[in-house]
Amino acid sequence: MRLGVIFILVVGVVCSAAVDQKPSRKSSWTGKLLVVPMDGSHWTGVKAVAEEMGRRGHTVIVVIPEISVLLGPGQHYITKMFSVKYDQKSLNKVLNERVLEVTNPGNSFLSTVIRIVSNLRRMFNTMAATSESLFQDKELIESLRNENFDAVLTDPVLPMGAILAYNLSVPAVYLLRGMACGLDATATTCPNPSSYIPRFHTRNTDRMSFGERVMNMLMSILEQTVCKFMYRSFEEMIFNFLQRDVSMTEILRTGAVWLMRYDFTLEFPKPLMPNMQFIGGINCGVRNPLTKEVEEFVNGSGEHGIVVFSLGSLVSSMPKEKADIFFKAFSMIPQRVLWRYTGEIPNNVPENVKLMKWLPQNDLLGHPKARAFITHGGTHGIYEGICHGVPMVMLPLFGDQADNVHRVATRGVGVILSIHDITVETLLDALNSVINNSSYKQKMQKLSAIHNDRPIQPLDLAVFWTEFVMRHKGADHLRPAAHELNWLQYHSLDVIGFMLLIVLIVTLAMLKCCSLCWRRCCRKTQKRKED
């Protein structure tokens, strides 16, 4: 089944504004922080930290391209812009093409893969073009150099900030969800055995059958090639900017602290490194009150409560036939529904459905009347659901969403549906399960309690480690010596080879001795016989 024409805009940010109203304490020591963010949903966590750092009295300068989807000025930081060689229209085109994979699910597997890879490549080329524009802005680069920053905060998925930090010789703090092809594991020398750590896009869990482990290892091998292909646009640019040959991994390795935007209520437990800190749910800590109108709608839902529905900020409208399925299903449930919907409003909107151009998603999920959350499975939304203990119906669209929702389903706190095959019945069944089957709510409450039970809030932890890197000019004491070993040495293959050689030599020497002794004995016996 086809989705038809969907106008899609990659924005994906939900509630970072909520953080703005949190009361903060001033830091006793203040410094200068350079922030080089990535556009789209990646901006959420970075913006929260940038604002909080500014609020605590640090000088925070955020460098962004003049054309972007979400990036922009804030209350507590200074914005510096650089011009780029593309316009808003062509950026939107790239983003629209990026999600064509959702709209054409009926094509063959091979053509889908080719399209995904080619779209990704276009995305990476755009990122490279953005980076190149920054690096060519000599005036801006020099002004940044003269600021003598104490640290750079950046999302390394767009390696522009990491490369800039390397060039300015300023320690870098990375804030990310994870990197394609396990690049984060490679760059931190973090062990990443494929036997129980599922690779992206495999939909494996941490408990795999033999076949799944084979697939997981094949994906591990494939990833390496894909990564080289993806970051190829950057290699030449790095050389031009730094005037020497430095690989992407070498640059990423200089990251002092890695703030990972996940925790183990969603991810499967796996090895870590000392310079990794976990700030999953950084976006759901602080809530704002609902507007009077929304509050009245929500409270009017009575004992049945509400369903929050958003396919992120990705899908700005939905084809009529698809939307009709949702409208029909919603008209048959006793709950009230708040739907992030930016398309043309049809005539047949049921009374219990409220369409909104922007949804205060985190605040709605945090309302005691929230009963279910229909989501596309972006990590921000999922963590908001976990944070507030709301079971989910999940409609993954693309990217890491299929893996995310699979992790949620594994915990027994959500149901996965396919946006392509969805019907009124399957949607009703799914909503009925997560709302009325107490198992989902109980498991979700348990998961939520674990997620929220921590010694320090994720935003405070992120700020602490950013300030730590600024105060101590890095975090060298957390940098493993493994960075100085090559692959053979790291796995001790040279040592094992040497030991086997010794064993071989000793065995051969012993055999030789035995054979000599034997020959002598034989000779003596023969001689005696001859005598």
**What is the binding site for a copy of itself (CB under 8 A)?**
190-191, 193-196, 205-207, 210, 213-214, 217, 264-265, 268-275, 446-447, 449-450, 453, 455-456, 460-461, 464-465, 468, 471-472, 477-482, 484-485, 489-492, 494-496, 498-499
C-alpha 128/C-alpha 136 separation (Å) is 12
- How many CB atoms within 10 Å of residue 17? 18
Q: How far is the CB of 206 from a copy of itself (least distance, A)?
A: 4
Q: How far is the CB of 416 from a copy of itself (least distance, A)?
A: 20
C-alpha 530/C-alpha 455 separation (Å) is 90
Three-class DSSP labels, 324-356 = HHHHHHHHCCCCEEEEECCCCCCCCCCCCEEEE
Q: How far is the CB of 503 from a copy of itself (least distance, A)?
A: 12
Instruction: Specify the residue, 276 or 356, whose C-beta has the smaller distance to a copy of itself.
Output: 276
CA dihedral (136, 137, 140, 142) in degrees, to 10, reads: 50
Please name the helix (run of DSSP H) or strand (run of DSSP E) that holds residue 81, with its range, or none. strand 78-82
Tell which residue, 262, 190, 246, 268, has the closest CA to residue 478: 190
Phi, psi for 437 (deg, rounded to 5): -85, 110
Instruction: Specify the residue, 106 or 455, whose C-beta has the smaller distance to a copy of itself.
Output: 455
Q: How far is the CB of 326 from a copy of itself (least distance, A)?
A: 33
Q: How far is the CB of 362 from a copy of itself (least distance, A)?
A: 23
Instruction: Specify the residue, 151 or 431, whose C-beta has the smaller distance to a copy of itself.
Output: 151
Instruction: Specify the residue, 320 or 473, whose C-beta has the smaller distance to a copy of itself.
Output: 473
Going from the C-alpha of 526 to that of each of 514, 517, 529, the distances in angstroms are: 18, 14, 5
Beta bridge partners of 8: 315
Instruction: Specify the residue, 68 or 188, whose C-beta has the smaller distance to a copy of itself.
Output: 188
Q: Which token pair is 527? A: 């001689």
Instruction: Specify the residue, 132 or 223, whose C-beta has the smaller distance to a copy of itself.
Output: 223
Beta bridge partners of 309: 339, 374
| Residue whose pair of structure tokens reads 């709510």 in the numeric block | 441
Please name the helix (run of DSSP H) or strand (run of DSSP E) that holds residue 34, with its range, or none. strand 32-36
Instruction: Specify the residue, 82 or 196, whose C-beta has the smaller distance to a copy of itself.
Output: 196
Instruction: Specify the residue, 356 or 478, whose C-beta has the smaller distance to a copy of itself.
Output: 478
**Which residues have a Cβ under 8 Å from the Cβ of 438 and sit 6 or more positions away?**
none
Three-class DSSP labels, 179-243 = CHHHHHHHHHCCCCCCCCCCCCCCCCCCCCCHHHHHHHHHHHHHHHHHHHHHCHHHHHHHHHHHC
Instruction: Specify the residue, 261 or 336, whose C-beta has the smaller distance to a copy of itself.
Output: 261
Instruction: Specify the residue, 495 or 511, whose C-beta has the smaller distance to a copy of itself.
Output: 495
Q: How far is the CB of 453 from a copy of itself (least distance, A)?
A: 6
Q: Which token pair is 211? A: 């076949």
Q: How far is the CB of 199 from a copy of itself (least distance, A)?
A: 12
Instruction: Specify the residue, 204 or 335, whose C-beta has the smaller distance to a copy of itself.
Output: 204
Q: How far is the CB of 260 from a copy of itself (least distance, A)?
A: 11
Q: How far is the CB of 218 from a copy of itself (least distance, A)?
A: 8
Q: How far is the CB of 33 from a copy of itself (least distance, A)?
A: 17
Phi, psi for 525 (deg, rounded to 5): -60, -40
Q: How far is the CB of 98 from a copy of itself (least distance, A)?
A: 33
Nearest-5° Cα angle at 163, 157 to 222: 40
For residue 62, the SS3 value is strand
C-alpha 444/C-alpha 438 separation (Å) is 10
Instruction: Specify the residue, 22 or 115, whose C-beta has the smaller distance to a copy of itself.
Output: 22
**DSSP one-letter string for 473-503:** TS-GGG--GGGGS-HHHHTTHHHHHHHHHHH
Q: How far is the CB of 275 from a copy of itself (least distance, A)?
A: 7
**Which residues have a Cβ under 8 Å from the Cβ of 139 and sit 6 or more positions away?**
none
C-alpha 336/C-alpha 370 separation (Å) is 10
Q: How far is the CB of 217 from a copy of itself (least distance, A)?
A: 5
Instruction: Specify the residue, 114 or 485, whose C-beta has the smaller distance to a copy of itself.
Output: 485
